[in-house]
């Protein structure tokens, strides 16, 4: 009886060690959430997570917005709103806020000629084959200050998360609201008063953002967002009370956000909702 008890105790102890090791191994797999939000770029969303979405985005209007700022592009439209069609607008602050990802925010796009205090070139690398922060990427619509934190939450949970789990790290769900940031901004020259085509209809436009179905293949089929239907039933805080929309001005050739109009308060680490 004594030997049987010893064997049983040894067995239980061994199982506990194995289980403990498995838990520790799982814990080590989980990445640490960055302390501060920052922009990481659409390329980070590609690969093992959202390949079909990235490929669909590449050929969408959002995936090509920076290109429209180049000289000679969309000449007729620029002429219509009294912009010089032969001018290069790829370093113009007023344009970059809505034609790139995270301009003037931590980790965001930096145009050609950008330098740090030591004079070192900090311009964002642009690869025509792999568009990234130089276009209007995922984070411009899905986050308030970049996706560095929420993408870790998504990875650690393997996609099984509630809206609130990512919302506290800066994911926003008020999509119809956030689109107005650029599409109906008072400083855009492309107003409905100029042409009817500039009238913004969220329900119509969103269909053009992610025509993702045709971009699934045998290599990325396992990335289908199975939990998406469950999350559609949830109502997040930003859906109940939309976040404020950034407003900005150009002062001495530089873009400055107006006080109280940024959805994320860096000092308080909190979000600003519309009152």
Domain chopping of the chain, boundaries: 1-30, 38-271
Mean pLDDT, residues 118-123: 97
Collect all residues with Cβ–Cβ distance below 8 Å to 128 and sequence separation of at least 6.
none
Q: What is the pLDDT of residue 113?
A: 96
Distance CA 37, CA 55 (A): 25
User: Strands 264-265 and 254-257: what pairing?
Assistant: unpaired
Q: Is 80 exposed, middle or buried (0-12, 13-18, 19+ CB in 10 A)?
A: middle
Contact yes or no for 228/161 (Cβ under 8 A): no
Q: What is the pLDDT of residue 14?
A: 56
The whole-chain average pLDDT of the chain stands at: 88
Q: Indicate if the pLDDT at residue 19 is higher than 60.
A: no
- Confidence at 124, pLDDT banded by 50, 70, 90: very high
Q: Indicate if the pLDDT at residue 25 is higher than 80.
A: no
Q: What is the pLDDT of residues 131-181, one digit of tens each?
A: 999 999 999 999 999 999 999 999 999 888 999 999 989 999 999 999 988
Q: What is the CATH number of domain 38-271?
A: 1.10.1130.10
Q: What is the pLDDT of residue 23?
A: 44
Torsion angles phi and psi, residue 271, rounded to 5: -110, 145
Distance CA 187, CA 248 (A): 9
Higher pLDDT, 110 or 46: 110
Higher pLDDT, 109 or 197: 109
Q: How many CA atoms lie within 13 A of 129 on its CB side?
A: 0
Q: Indicate if the pLDDT at residue 26 is higher than 80.
A: no
Q: What is the pLDDT of residue 209?
A: 83
CB atoms inside a 10 Å sphere around CB 93 = 18
Torsion angles phi and psi, residue 24, rounded to 5: -65, -40
CA dihedral defined by 249, 208, 139, 133, rounded to 10 degrees? Answer: -80
Q: Work out the percent of the chain whose per-residue pLDDT is above 70.
A: 89
Mean pLDDT, residues 123-130: 96
Higher pLDDT, 20 or 133: 133
The predicted model scores a pTM of 0.85
Q: Which two tokens stand for residue 31?
A: 């990445």
Q: Which two tokens stand for residue 92?
A: 């113009």
Mean pLDDT, residues 246-251: 88
Contact yes or no for 38/106 (Cβ under 8 A): yes
Collect all residues with Cβ–Cβ distance below 8 Å to 183 and sequence separation of at least 6.
200, 205
């Amino acid at each position: 009886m004594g030997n049987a008890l010893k064997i049983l105790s040894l067995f239980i102890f061994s199982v506990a060690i194995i289980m403990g090791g498995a838990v520790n191994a799982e814990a080590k797999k989980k990445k640490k959430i960055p302390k501060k939000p920052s922009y990481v770029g659409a390329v980070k969303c590609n690969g093992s997570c959202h390949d079909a979405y990235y490929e669909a985005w590449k050929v969408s209007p959002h995936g090509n917005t920076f290109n429209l700022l180049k000289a000679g592009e969309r000449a007729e439209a620029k002429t219509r709103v009294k912009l010089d069609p032969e001018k290069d607008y790829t370093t113009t602050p007023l344009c970059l806020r809505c034609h790139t990802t995270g301009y003037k925010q931590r980790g965001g796009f930096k145009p050609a000629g950008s330098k740090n205090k030591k004079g070192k070139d900090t311009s964002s690398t642009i690869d025509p084959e792999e568009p990234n922060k130089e276009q209007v990427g995922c984070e411009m619509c899905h986050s308030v200050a970049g996706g560095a934190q929420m993408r870790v939450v998504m990875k650690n949970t393997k996609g099984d998360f509630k809206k609130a789990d990512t919302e506290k790290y800066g994911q926003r769900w008020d999509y119809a609201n956030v689109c107005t940031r650029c599409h109906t901004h008072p400083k855009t020259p492309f107003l409905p008063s100029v042409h009817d085509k500039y009238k913004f209809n969220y329900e119509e436009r969103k269909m053009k953002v992610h025509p993702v179905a045709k971009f699934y293949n045998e290599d990325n089929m396992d990335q289908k967002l199975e939990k998406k239907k469950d999350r559609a039933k949830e109502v997040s805080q930003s859906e109940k009370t939309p976040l404020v929309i950034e407003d900005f001005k150009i002062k001495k050739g530089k873009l400055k956000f107006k006080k109280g109009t940024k959805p994320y308060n860096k000092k308080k680490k909190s979000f600003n909702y519309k009152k």
